[in-house]
Chain A
Amino acid sequence: MTTTSEAERISMYLIGSACSEKIANRYAEAVNIKKPTISRNDEALWHFALRGTFNMAITDSALALLNPYHPIRHRIYLMLAILEADVAFTHKFIAREHGFFKAFVLLAYSGLVAFVQSIIGLCVLKLAFKKSIRD
């Protein structure tokens, strides 16, 4: 998969929409400069994550606990920063006025989703991708 195709998959995962070619190119440039290298041991896990949003979510959530500085996370992080610094996606990062109750419900729901993703991710990675989660 090309780096620009990766960018689209990661964008779908992070903000639920595809990114423009401009953003994808910016991601490719960032990967080229920062070099978050996916090793041979990590290739299988990376291909697994790139298959879809759910796969990427459980992979990222599990690695956040097992190995937060994993190169796969570095790639996703680069894309997160690039999306935030783009006019088209500012609204996904700037706070909105919800009121206490609505914000609490949204927080509880997001927290529950994050928890479930972490649990599933931990099980999948520990069973199927042991080599990748070592430092």
Chain B
Amino acid sequence: MQEFDVVVVGSGATGAIGAKTLAEKGKNVTVIDGGQTDEKYNSITPTTDWLTLRKSDENQHRYFLGDHFEGIAWKEAKVGSQLTPARNYLRARVEEYLPFQSSSLFPFESLAVGGLGGGWGLGCFMFSEAELSKCGLPYAEMLQSYQTVSDWIGISGLNDDAGVYSVGKLNRLLPPPSLEKAMQPIFKKYALKKRQLQNKGFYLGRSGIALLTEERKDRNSVRNTDMEYWNDHDRSSYRSWMTLEELNTSGKISHIKGCLVLSFEENDGKVFINALDISTNQKVVFKCNKLILCAGVLSTARIVLRSFHSYNQKIPFLCNPYSYMPTLQWNMFGKTHEDRKSGIGQAILFHDADGSQSDVAQAALFSYRQLLLFKLVKESPLGFASGRKIMQLLYPAFVVAGIHHTEERGKEKYVELLQDPNQRTGDVLAGLYKLSSDEEVKIARREALYKKALIQLGCLPLRSIRTPHGGSIHYAGTLPYSSKGELLTLKPNGKMNGTDNVWIADGSGFNYLPAKGLTFTLMANAHRVCSQINS
């Protein structure tokens, strides 16, 4: 039986940062993850820019459509079915090893090296003091952790009107990428109508994003190839696997890939980890002094529920409701996007009705670039030939608003582990998710306000599309922070109640989910939790 000092389960955003935090403290760290990687598409995607390769690369069909045409989703409604072929590895083997059963909840999980961080949209947002308090997170500690993580991964952004809601409080911010042509009229309109919009609680600014705009020794500044959805060749976009690679190369961690952790037991001051080798389906057992779970909220829930034999026990589940609103910006009609720009994280529109920063919604605004037209044509109620012609004319004028809403616990928002001998793991995680009527009304009202604000910014909303529950890929709250010490809860420092040497450093403990992008806060929390772990 292999024996380790500190084991971190999961290598996504929280696992990578947690492992780095522990390694920097001089701990002997082993990371265990599901080990799935892209074996094919990243190596065949060229380093040239989007427009050049569209016009010249004879092999583009391979990485745009996939060798098995997996990039041409038809009826699939599952979250993740629109992944590009190069990112499809994120969902490899998930149905087999992380089964989930629900008619109302459709989460997206991953067994990839680097976890869901491999497909992160890069948006970085600091939660306010009020929001952190609702989550159960300490403000002063989190401020420090936000800064440390920012220094590690590199964040670009501005302390502008929206800075207080995103990354305005960070020091050493990198300058934001240059503003693309499609966004310039929106900012001009905002400047003209600022007072009106701010009186209604709307604040527009540049997103904080984990994108380098200055060189670092191991990563390049953004090259503006407009290929961020397809590859990470220039390494300007931060991905969790980059931290793992850095730690592996420097010998600061050992890394066990292709193992699914099932459960743990504590005995005589040690933690025994029961796992499944994915390549052989053989069970393996590891022993360690301390166990840190960063497997993602749902996977961590499975591990904990198995470990405590808590089958058929409902635990809470939080997931931000998410809609997107395609709009038409007439200023861009008849024009084209400029070449060689990055479309990532250009603008963000926050709604804070009373200015208290305690109930803030966010809409990320992005243009339709570095994406293929056929997917857009499918969304129109037209024959494909007419649709092609019309969308070819319209798409530079499209601005899509991706709107996240806040999330609180509810009676009909839970998951539970059910025994199922037909599954490889012997069980299946099931869930129910239903918004209350008050929540539905609040969401509808907010989206109506966003529509009006977007019109004022020169963007005509066409429709509002609510994604299936789980579509935000922001999950939390299954093992809430509690000082009372009950089972299936966490102490405020992240230690699992009822254990001596098990910590949880992902979002499982959060008691509330602000509407803001979650990943940066998850990373900061992982740093916070792991900083406190001593031998």
Q: How far is the CA of A78 from the CA of B74 in the complex (A)?
A: 9
**21 A-B contacts, Cβ less than 8 Å apart?**
A30-B72, A33-B68, A36-B74, A65-B381, A78-B72, A80-B388, A81-B69, A85-B372, A90-B54, A95-B336, A95-B395, A96-B336, A96-B392, A97-B336, A98-B334, A100-B333, A103-B334, A110-B393, A113-B386, A114-B382, A114-B387
* Residues from chain A with Cβ under 8 Å of B384 in the complex: 14, 60, 64, 73, 76-77, 80
Residue A48, interface by CB 8 Å? no
In contact, A34 and B69 (Cβ under 8 angstroms): yes
What string of 1s and 0s marks CB contacts (under 8 Å) between B356-395 and chain A? Answer: 0000000000000000111001101111111111101111
Since A80-B388, A87-B55, A103-B393 are in contact, a sample of 11 more A-B pairs with Cβ atoms closer than 8 Å, ordered by chain A residue number, is A64-B384, A77-B374, A81-B374, A84-B64, A85-B65, A86-B60, A92-B388, A95-B337, A104-B333, A114-B382, A118-B382
Q: How many positions in chain A have a CB within 8 Å of any CB in the partner chain?
A: 53
Q: How far is the CA of A76 from the CA of B378 in the complex (A)?
A: 11
In contact, B69 and A114 (Cβ under 8 angstroms): no
Q: How far is the CA of A13 from the CA of B479 in the complex (A)?
A: 56
* Residues from chain B with Cβ under 8 Å of A82 in the complex: 61, 65
Closest to B389 in A: A110
In contact, B334 and A99 (Cβ under 8 angstroms): yes
Residue A61, interface by CB 8 Å? yes
In contact, B334 and A61 (Cβ under 8 angstroms): no
In contact, A100 and B334 (Cβ under 8 angstroms): yes
In contact, A98 and B74 (Cβ under 8 angstroms): no
* Residues from chain B with Cβ under 8 Å of A95 in the complex: 335-337, 392-393, 395-396
What string of 1s and 0s marks CB contacts (under 8 Å) between B311-335 and chain A? Answer: 0000000000000000000000111
In contact, A107 and B383 (Cβ under 8 angstroms): no
Q: How far is the CA of A29 from the CA of B51 in the complex (A)?
A: 27
Give me the interface of B with A, judged by CB distance under 8 Å. Answer: 51, 54-58, 60-61, 64-65, 68-69, 71-72, 74-75, 333-337, 372-374, 377-378, 380-390, 392-396
Closest to B335 in A: A97
* Residues from chain B with Cβ under 8 Å of A94 in the complex: 51, 54, 336, 392
B229 nearest CB across to chain A (Å): 15
Q: How far is the CA of A16 from the CA of B280 in the complex (A)?
A: 52
Given known contacts A33-B69, A80-B377, A81-B372, A114 and B386 CB-to-CB distance under 8 angstroms: yes
In contact, B56 and A87 (Cβ under 8 angstroms): yes
- Set A81, A92, A98: member contacting B72, Cβ < 8 A: A81
* Residues from chain B with Cβ under 8 Å of A15 in the complex: 385, 388
In contact, A87 and B60 (Cβ under 8 angstroms): yes
Closest to B373 in A: A93
Residue A52, interface by CB 8 Å? no
- Set B71, B383, B390, B395: member contacting A57, Cβ < 8 A: B383
In contact, B390 and A110 (Cβ under 8 angstroms): yes
In contact, A64 and B61 (Cβ under 8 angstroms): no
* Residues from chain B with Cβ under 8 Å of A61 in the complex: 382-383, 386
* Residues from chain B with Cβ under 8 Å of A85 in the complex: 60-61, 64-65, 372
Which 3 A-B pairs rank lowest in CB-CB distance, beginning with the nearest?
A103-B334, A61-B383, A114-B386
Interface residues of A in 34-93 (CB under 8 A from B): 34, 36, 56-58, 60-61, 64-65, 68-69, 73-74, 76-78, 80-82, 84-87, 90, 92-93
